[in-house]
Structure 1
């Protein structure tokens, strides 16, 4: 292949338009990936389960995804792509800190590429920048789609969004507390009540679930606000937009994307997400988490620097609580904050749906 053509095609960003076309997805996680790194796998099984035919994980072969991940029913876990019947794509199912690719996963990806499968990855380490994978893909016809790779190069303008477009944004006291799931469940609940609502993805997993969005943690910092503002503008014909949150405003590593999202989407309503019982920042035992009231006040103040915003509800992640403990926790937080509190995993999103509709009525949106 002509070198100029090769380099030009590698420099182009693959479109996300094809992500939803796949109907027989093999999810690859490498060998014995920690469960904490497998949130992409879990979300694909939860929200695109009808399209997921297997998870490739040699360490757990022979088990079902329900046994290992708690979702997916009888979807099998297999040792290699050779054990998957007629897959049409391979999705990378891990989200490790830093986005680096384990060698065992790279081997699995190589096997998929050799078979001509399209590979969709949300890692920071881009498939198209791996010379061996790229050359193999040219020979087999495999498409390498890096969902974090982007060309967003526009700063925000501080525009006013359409009157009647209510923007709800998930914020958290830390990373990995359920911000994406909360908003996807909220979308489902609003649609069940015949409301014109749409979830907007801002991370790799959300993009792989719904097929579009902005990977804010891989956008150049000057352009995060502008990329999110543009995403909202492209979708403001909907009556309610549900913007996925990222990171935490006090997280020592990831606060920048959190603030960019707040000012880019200019939300009127905020859903505060937290994990009950978590004492410190994920992966940083030396950094203690603050009170929910502190986060409420901080998020409201920072969001309102662009336009007025308020926390309208709390999404509790009670994965480490018994049902009885969860009920006690919800009552206590509701009394403390004077806000509706629910665990969308256990209870569904009903209370948060009610909160969104109350805000919509008050705002006249």
Structure 2
């Protein structure tokens, strides 16, 4: 039965992936399919009662894995702060690592006090955290899968998303995006196409020039013909990058078939946003320094959760309420049975 369910979820994933690979739900179906199939594989080689074996594995491994993740996040948070300074965004891994420890503190408190309400509150928090953890695992898994897809030439425009300047200088993170765009441009040339390369990014308050201007200079200096480079120098967000670029291409009576070039941690959210804006676009990513990835991926996930905030808020509230309602409905049952 587990194998049938797993294969069913994988089949749904393949169908939806073939139709449009820019869906977060693809990652949910993929993770469910792999989970059910993996449980079947584990159970097929395990003796004894399957549910008991799997429950034992989960009980033993889950706390250790969560504690390990919390430790790694806190270590990464400290490393990020040392490298890039004390900023709110850089506190995210450290803060999340601390938050992951909270249920264990509550568990210790529940065991020490024997208070049933503390145990119920812990169960409520655990269910909400588990839901977000499942979403995060789906997001991370599908981000890796989407990022590993090979680039398919055939685009009319290559859009490079800005990521900030240091004065008027292109920093390493943005340079990696531009280098990836140059690779894509050369791949299109090899196929006999000459796409536009759109440098997209406005001017920040701490920047000497617009990101688009600095990016265009970098592209031309690295071999992209100046007449193939177009500037979109008004945007301040990814959404504006996409909307202004679509408008720019429309004004030039140009096809809007495009590839969006960004950092590897940013590709899935960009793809999801492009789909929501009904753009004919795919996304390819550039490499990012490893120490920077955990905080960046967490920010991307938080942004995706916020984009679907109401469904996530309602789901979390329902999960938090379930243990509380169960306790309220059953707390008098032992006395009734005793009568």
TM score, norm. by length of structure 1: 0.27
Higher relative contact order (CA 8 A, sep 6+): 2
Larger radius of gyration: 2
Which has a greater percent of strand?
A: 1
Which has a greater percent of helix?
A: 2
